[in-house]
Amino acid sequence: MTASVAVDELRTVVAALHAELVRYGLVAWTAGNISGRVPGEDLFVIKPSGISYDDLTPGSVVVCDLDGNLVEGDLAPSSDTAAHAYVYRARPDVGGVVHTHSPYATAWAARNEAIPCVLTAMADEFGGEIPVGPFALIGDDSIGRGIVETLAGSRSPAVLMRNHGVFTIGKDPRAAVKAAVMCEDVARTVHLARTAGDPLPIDPEHIDSLYRRYQTVYGQR
C-alpha cells in the first residue's frame, strides 16, 4: 500500500470515528478530536481546528508530521496537535489518540481525582485506576508530556488531565475511541455509586486476573 493510499484510508476512518464521540455524548459543539498514526510513516491525521462534526469529511481531515507541522490539507490542525504529536514521538506503540471533555470524566479531572478501580469493567479495560495528569496549558507539547509521564508504567489507556478533560490512547484510532467511551461510562457509574456510599475496591490480584482475561481471551480471536 502506498503512503497516499494509507493516508486516504486513515482519513476516512478518523472522520467516521468522530461520529462516535457525538453518539456517546463525549463532546459538545466543535470540542474534541481524534488522530491516527499513518502506518509505516512519520505522519498522523487529525481533525482540523474548530470544524463542526456535521461538516467533517475525510477530505477535511489534515495530515501532520510527528513534530506537529501541517503537511497536507487546507485547514489549520487541531489546537491539540502538539500534544498528539508528542505522544506519537514518545510512544511508538500508540496508533490513535482521542481527546474529549466528556462530562463525568472531566468532573473527576476538575477535582484532580483519579477514578478508583471498583468495577470489573474498569479492571478489564484499564487494568486499574484511571489516573490524573498535571495541569497544562493548550498550544504546545506540555499536555503531551503530561499524558506520557502519567501513563508511564500504567496499564490505563486513559488519563484525566487536571482541569481539562480526557485523553485516551490505543493501538489504532478505534481502540482509543473505545477507551474514551468506556472512560466516560465508568466515570459516571463510580460517581453514582459514591452518592450512596463508598464503593468497594477490587483486590489487586482480581484486577490482574480480570485484565489478563479481557485482554487475551474476551471476544473473537
Active site residues: 124, 218
How many of the other CB atoms lie within 10 Å of CB of 108? 20
Record the cell numbers describing residue 17, joined without a space. Answer: 470515528
Say how far apart CA 144 and CA 148 lie, in whole Å.
6
What does the buried/exposed string (b/e) look like for 145-171 if buried means 16 or more CB atoms within 10 Å of the residue's CB? bbbbebbeeeebbbbbbbebbbbbbbe
